[in-house]
Amino acid sequence: MSRYGAGARVFLAGPVFAAAAVLVLGGASCSSTKPLSGVAQNCSLNSECDQPLVCVFTRCHNACNTSVDCPSGQRCVPSATPGMNVCQLPKLEDTCSTGSACSIAGEVCGADGQCRATCQMTSCLSMQTCASNAGQSVCLDPHATLDQTIIADGGAGEAGVGPDVSTMDSGDDGDAGDATLGDASAADVSDTGTPEGNTVPEATPRDSMTGDGGGNGDGASFADGSDAWVDGSGSTGPTLPIVSISSANLTIASPTHWTVAMYVVYGDLQVNSALTVDPGSVVKFDLGRSMSVSPTGTFSASGTASAPIVFTSIRDNAQGGNTYGDASAAPPAPGDWKGIGVHASGSTFDHCVFSYAGGSDSAALELSPDGGNSQNAYSATVTNSVFAHNKGPTDGLNKASVTLSAWAAAAGTVIKNNVFYDNRRPLTISAAMSLDDSNAFDNRAAAPANPQPNEFNAIEVYGTGDYSQHIASNVTWSATSVPFRIGNPLVGLSVSLYVDTGGLLTLADNVTLKFFSRGRLSVASGARLTTGNNDVFTSIYDTADGGDTAGTGGTVMPMAGDWSGITVNGVCQTWTNILYSTPNCP
């Protein structure tokens, strides 16, 4: 089953009855059967249409749930009967003259001469979104893309190879050899595959897929002219158009806009300018591949609750079908691809999904200085997103990759309302960042019976240089569902948390801080530490407070001297909520 709709086409039908009329004329009788009407024929009742057609808008129609259920080129639209949707009839119901009325009440004529249901008339159907077109709000199928008032819905003369994502086909000559998919800007792609604009390349999917018989092995061409395609196993695949990102187009050198589609990245993608991705898009990475946003680039991935942006493995058939072209349908696995590295300020990730990353001990999403230069920290925003099934190949805490790594992120970085589950190490932050209590560290809200917590479930805090952390401004930590773990498991150094002169660390109620061996919390003269009720400062081996964050399964018991305690202006503190520290804070 595809995420975007069922593979098989299903036609819903109302009851059909062939009625026999008996006429008596002066004692003589004869019988006749009225022939049933086909698609687009006039009718007044379902019983007058061939099964499984239904009578809607005084004509016989195919019933549908989504446009995938309709014959090629037809859209699924709601009827006046609640719950009954039908396929628009070509030429009779789907086209219009700009500014004129459409034949179906509740539809409007767009600037492209197409009739579409208005969002005010009814809620859009499954897979459709409500968008603006020529001043009207209309329901759009996943492949329809808007730019100003133009909706490019296939393009004339493109030999039925699939929807054209280009919104204004200024480079489209309309012949049968045209690109299988236009770019996402105002310029299309030439017949030779050389981009006439500067954004998305010609959509030539992986050659290993079976195809439409058109040659060159470009197996993801749309064989029936619709948005569905057939993979090597013969099953129906994605309803999104497929765009291949490979070889010459792996560097984003100028501002680029990816409209809603499925992008398959076959190499390491370098973003040196602004890249924007539309809601509902799926970005799949080939095995071992990654994306990097350089200091000159930005990445804007702002999805919605109903149309998130998905970053996942090429083997993830649950997202858009079998794009890997693997007849054995190998399942996706944690670590299939590396992840996305952001080495610049200004990037945004909202309502995104990150799955099956972490290869080569990489982070699924890393916010860090370019080249590890800790003097150039950058900020970003990560909100309302899901991080799941991201694990590197190593099991040990000292090697396992972090899912969302903001170890050197600048103040102003926002990480809120995200869900982390079935990862190894979910989150690392820098000491310059504040963090509230809005993030979840298992999936119990969506699946109470199967919460899938992370393996080493904690928020890690470590810094740069000697890996100690320094708080020099106002920082607030409020997360309570998992502890803050102070220190870097990758090194055997004495890793401490320092509140420097002028700095303020505020802890909300019920916050737990755990320290690695020899770690300490040191509050300098002129600095402040504000604690809440029921806060705990303890050893990493303390499973009674915050669970097993050391990855020992509770086999290593906490004991006095595990860490070096808390000093305020050089004075060792003996609070009752300081557990398993070394006496006298050496």
Residue with tokens 């019976």: 449
Below-50 pLDDT ranges, the chain = 1-33, 121-122, 143, 145-238, 372-374, 465
Look at strands 262-265 and 282-285 and give their pairing.
parallel
Closest CA to 239 of 69, 64, 123: 69
CB 466 within 8 A of CB 493: yes
How far is it, in rounded angstroms, from Cα 407 to Cα 465? 12
Per cent of the chain over pLDDT 90 is 43
201 to 64, 155, 220: CA distances (angstroms): 33, 17, 15
Exposure class string for 322-345: b at 16+ Cβ within 10 A, else e: bbbbbeeeeebbbbbbbbbbbbbb
How far is it, in rounded angstroms, from Cα 369 to Cα 408? 7
DSSP reduced 3-state for 9: coil
Both tokens of 105, joined, read 């009440």
40 to 52, 53, 54: CA distances (angstroms): 13, 10, 10
Q: What is the pLDDT, as a whole number, of residue 375?
A: 55
Look at strands 386-388 and 352-355 and give their pairing.
parallel
Whether the CA torsion 151, 156, 161, 166 is positive or negative: it is negative
How far is it, in rounded angstroms, from Cα 58 to Cα 46? 10
Query: 127-174: per-residue pLDDT in tens?
Result: 566 665 555 677 776 545 333 232 223 333 232 223 333 333 333 333
Look at strands 536-539 and 512-515 and give their pairing.
parallel
How far is it, in rounded angstroms, from Cα 435 to Cα 454? 19
> Taking CA 391 as the corner, what is the angle to CA 387 and CA 393, rounded to the nearest 5 degrees?
170
CA 139 to the chain's CA centroid: 21
How far is it, in rounded angstroms, from Cα 453 to Cα 127? 31
251 to 201, 204, 268, 270, 273: CA distances (angstroms): 11, 17, 9, 5, 9
Residues 6+ apart with CB under 8 A from 576: none
Indicate the pTM of the whole model. Answer: 0.62
Q: What is the pLDDT, as a whole number, of residue 452?
A: 96
Both tokens of 482, joined, read 């998992």
Number of neighbours of residue 347 by Cβ within 10 angstroms: 24
CA 28 to the chain's CA centroid: 72
Both tokens of 11, joined, read 């036609």
3-state secondary structure labels for all residues of 509-546: CCCEEEECCCCCEEECCCCEEECCCCCEEEECCCCCCC
Q: What is the pLDDT, as a whole number, of residue 428?
A: 92
For the chain, the structural domain boundaries read 20-141, 250-457, 466-586
Both tokens of 5, joined, read 């709709």
